[in-house]
Amino acid sequence: MESVEVEERFRALMKEYGNLVRWIIAQMCPPSLGISREDLEQEVQLKLWRALHSEREIANPKSYVGRIAQTAAIDARRRVKTRSEEPLLDAAMDAEHPGRELRDERMISPERHAQQEQAKGMIKTELREFPKESRIAVGLHLQGYGARQIADVTGWTEPKARNLVYRGMRNLREKLSEKGIDCETD
Amino acid sequence: MRLTEAELSELYRAETARSARQVKDCPSAGAMTRAAAGELSEDEHARWVDHLVTCSDCAAEFQLLRALDSWDAASATAPAMWNELASTEIQARSDAARKGWWPRFSAQMRLPAFGYAMGAALLVSGLLVGWWVFSLRRENQRLAAQVNEQRIAMEKLAAKSDVIDTTDPNLSSGLREVQIANLPTTGTQLSKPELNVRIIDLEPGAANRGESGGALKRVILSKGASFFTCVLNVTGQPSFTNYSLKITNQRGQTMWQGAGLRKSPDNTFTLALPSRLLPAGRYQLKLYGTKPPQHEPVAVYAVQVQYK
């Protein structure tokens, strides 16, 4: 493809899907992460430009452009987390994991902190012993997934996912209780 | 130790965070988008699900992607305008959320809905102002017409009043009206020969003796008289090129003035005055002589006209 054609194609795609790109970036990169949306949009444009130059066949332009934007947004999020910019990281984590703020608000004692560190290892170890489906269901549940989302990821039915979560959590509480950690049910 | 389920979940996520695991085994962003699009093979998918269980960061990112896909699928059927609206709104609100009142306000202003509302408000207010200006203009025109009518009526009254004022000030207004009504006004009367026309000899007073002029000459005319003739006598032998006359009433208002008078061999000037011009009252006739560049009074005559 000649560069004039590439440029025309690029402009047409950005005109058509520019808003989609901005929308994806806005959804995936909340302001608390401190990611420059303009820079990210430019990164997406650059990737698209390169793809057009490499004469790659684009069967579904909308899906393709959307995929580029998603990939760029994920990479940007990962870069931010890797940089360990603590204030931004904390803010981002708070936004994504509402439970996190509980720990910060309660001003936990060193003793409590040590107990929690111990509990972390126990949860992971106990879960490793679970049957595969139960482990996946409980693991995803603890990652914040609902029954429908678990079903969506695993391909199970929603009732099956809910049942596995219920039984698995009960099992986990029992195991942790045996080790001195009492878990309340919400 | 007691833990709530939220704390349990939080501890698990912290334990399985990318930074806590110290292992760089996360699939690439591209692989994640493929997983979200359901493009993984069975084995890849199984490994992917296993990874999600053990990586809270990937789990969170995947959740976002899945939500994005569902929103995108929903928006695919919607008109492009709504996509644009949603994106603009999200951008504006999220930018404004971390700033002060002014950025928030300006972000609101960037929203298309706000623009439409502002446009509609401007249109309505423009129409209202236009209507107000139009009604003001109509009101002004009406008032101007009213004032004009009043002015014309006042002028008519003033003209009538001037005529009446020149008559004897002791006459009642009713009498003045009757007197004016009795003056010969029609063309028929004026086109007939008039018999027994009064000829009045007027002797001049000193031209420079002010308004009082010379001795007051009383002229009594019949009510039916249309004209009377005045013979203006002058003293000396003035030798001006042209002569003109000015008739003023007792208030100093000019009743008539004109040039073209010629001196007779008898050293007099004659003129016939319509009685309509001079209702009852006192008048002063000033004769001027002109010999360029000179223009000076020659004689002044004082007359009191009465009708019987």
Inter-chain residue contact B1 with A180, CB threshold 8 Å: yes
pLDDT band at A72 (very low <50, low <70, confident <90, very high): very high
Query: Does A125 contact B at CB distance below 8 Å?
Result: no
- How far, in Å, are A9, A104, B25, B31, B294 from residue A67 at the CA level? 18, 36, 22, 11, 109
- Mean pLDDT along residues A56-82: 87
Q: Which pLDDT score, from 0 to 100, does residue B82 have?
A: 46
Instruction: Report yes or no: A62 and B83 within 8 Å, Cβ to Cβ.
Output: no
**pLDDT > 70: what percent of chain B?**
72
Inter-chain residue contact A119 with B3, CB threshold 8 Å: yes
A130 versus A34: the higher-pLDDT residue is A130
Q: Which pLDDT score, from 0 to 100, does residue B268 have?
A: 92
Nearest to B54 among A70, A121, A139 (CB): A139
Structure tokens at B176: 């003045």
Distance, in angstroms, between A182 CA and closest chain B CA? 5
Instruction: Report yes or no: B227 and B273 within 8 Å, Cβ to Cβ.
Output: yes
Residue whose pair of structure tokens reads 């009206």 in the numeric block: B177
**Considering only residues 119 to 178 of chain B, which have any Cβ-Cβ distance to chain A shorter than 8 Å?**
none
* Res B109 pLDDT > 70: no
Query: Does B91 contact A at CB distance below 8 Å?
Result: yes
Query: Residue B163 phi/psi, 5° resolution?
Result: -60, -45
For chain B, first and last CA: distance in Å? 138
- Mean pLDDT along residues A27-39: 87
* Res B129 pLDDT > 90: yes
Q: Which residue from A minimizes the CA distance to B51?
A: A136
Q: Which residue from B minimizes the CA distance to A183?
A: B3
Q: Which pLDDT score, from 0 to 100, does residue B90 have?
A: 56
Q: Crossing angle for the helix pair A147-154 and A158-178, nearest 10 degrees?
A: 110
**pLDDT > 70: what percent of chain A?**
84
Q: What angle do CA A18, A21, A23 make, to 5 degrees?
A: 110
Query: Does A148 contact B at CB distance below 8 Å?
Result: no
pLDDT digits (tens, 9 = 90+) for B56-85: 999 998 988 888 776 555 554 444 544 555
- Mean pLDDT along residues A40-67: 86
**Distance between CA atoms of A102 and A48, rounded to whole angstroms?**
42
Largest CA distance in chain A: 71
The alpha carbon of residue A149 and the mean position of all alpha carbons in its chain are separated, in whole angstroms, by 13
A91 versus A39: the higher-pLDDT residue is A39
Distance, in angstroms, between B125 CA and closest chain A CA? 34
- For the ranges A110-119, B121-130, B193-202, B217-226, which has the lowest average pLDDT? A110-119
Number of CB atoms found within 10 A of residue A124's CB: 16
- Mean pLDDT along residues A59-74: 89
A186 versus A99: the higher-pLDDT residue is A186
Enumerate the residues of chain A whose CB falls inside 8 A of the CB of residue B94: 26, 30-31
Nearest to B3 among A22, A78, A183 (CB): A183
Query: Does B15 contact A at CB distance below 8 Å?
Result: yes
Instruction: Report yes or no: B230 and B277 within 8 Å, Cβ to Cβ.
Output: no
**Distance between CA atoms of A42 and A50, rounded to whole angstroms?**
12
Inter-chain residue contact A121 with B50, CB threshold 8 Å: no
Helix (H) or strand (E) holding B265: none
pLDDT band at B211 (very low <50, low <70, confident <90, very high): very low
Query: Does B14 contact A at CB distance below 8 Å?
Result: yes
- Mean pLDDT along residues A43-65: 85
Q: What is the number of CB-based contacts under 8 A between chain A and chain B? A: 163
- For the ranges A60-74, B49-63, B199-213, which has the lowest average pLDDT? B199-213
Query: Does A150 contact B at CB distance below 8 Å?
Result: no
* Highest-pLDDT range among A134-148, B33-47, B103-117: A134-148
- How far, in Å, are A123, A127, A164, A172 from residue A176 at the CA level? 7, 10, 18, 6
Q: Which pLDDT score, from 0 to 100, does residue B115 have?
A: 79
Which of A83, A82, A81, A107 lies closest to A95 in space, CA to CA? A81
pLDDT digits (tens, 9 = 90+) for A105-131: 456 778 778 888 888 888 888 898 999
Q: Which pLDDT score, from 0 to 100, does residue B167 have?
A: 52
Instruction: Report yes or no: B165 and B251 within 8 Å, Cβ to Cβ.
Output: yes
**Considering only residues 169 to 228 of chain B, which have any Cβ-Cβ distance to chain A shorter than 8 Å?**
none
Enumerate the residues of chain B whose CB falls inside 8 A of the CB of residue A100: 10
Q: Which pLDDT score, from 0 to 100, does residue A37 have?
A: 87
Tell me whether strands B216-221 and B254-261 are parallel, antiparallel or unpaired. unpaired
Number of CB atoms found within 10 A of residue A131's CB: 11
**Distance between CA atoms of A140 and B59, rounded to whole angstroms?**
8
**Distance between CA atoms of B53 and B59, rounded to whole angstroms?**
7
Q: Which pLDDT score, from 0 to 100, does residue A102 have?
A: 47
Enumerate the residues of chain A whose CB falls inside 8 A of the CB of residue B84: 19
Which of B18, B42, B53, B83 to probe by mutation at the A interface, max A CB count within 10 Å?
B53
Residue type at B91 in one-letter notation: Q
pLDDT band at A80 (very low <50, low <70, confident <90, very high): confident
- Mean pLDDT along residues A59-66: 87
Which of B141, B165, B151 lies closest to B251 in space, CA to CA? B165
Distance, in angstroms, between B73 CA and closest chain A CA? 11
Output the pTM of the full model: 0.49
- Mean pLDDT along residues A16-32: 89
Inter-chain residue contact B10 with A77, CB threshold 8 Å: no
- Mean pLDDT along residues B222-231: 87
Mean pLDDT of chain A: 83
Inter-chain residue contact A78 with B60, CB threshold 8 Å: no
DSSP assignment of A12-80 equals HHHHHHHHHHHHHHHHHS-GGG---HHHHHHHHHHHHHHHHHTT---S-HHHHHHHHHHHHHHHHHHHH
Structure tokens at A27: 């959804």
Mean pLDDT of chain B: 78
**pLDDT > 90: what percent of chain A?**
36
Query: B265-268, long-range: CB within 8 Å, 24+ apart, which pairs?
Result: B267/B233, B267/B234, B267/B237, B268/B231, B268/B232, B268/B233, B268/B234
Enumerate the residues of chain B whose CB falls inside 8 A of the CB of residue A124: 12, 15-16
- Mean pLDDT along residues A70-99: 68
- Mean pLDDT along residues A178-185: 82
- How far, in Å, are B87, B198, B232, B257, B307 from residue B272 at the CA level? 101, 10, 11, 13, 17
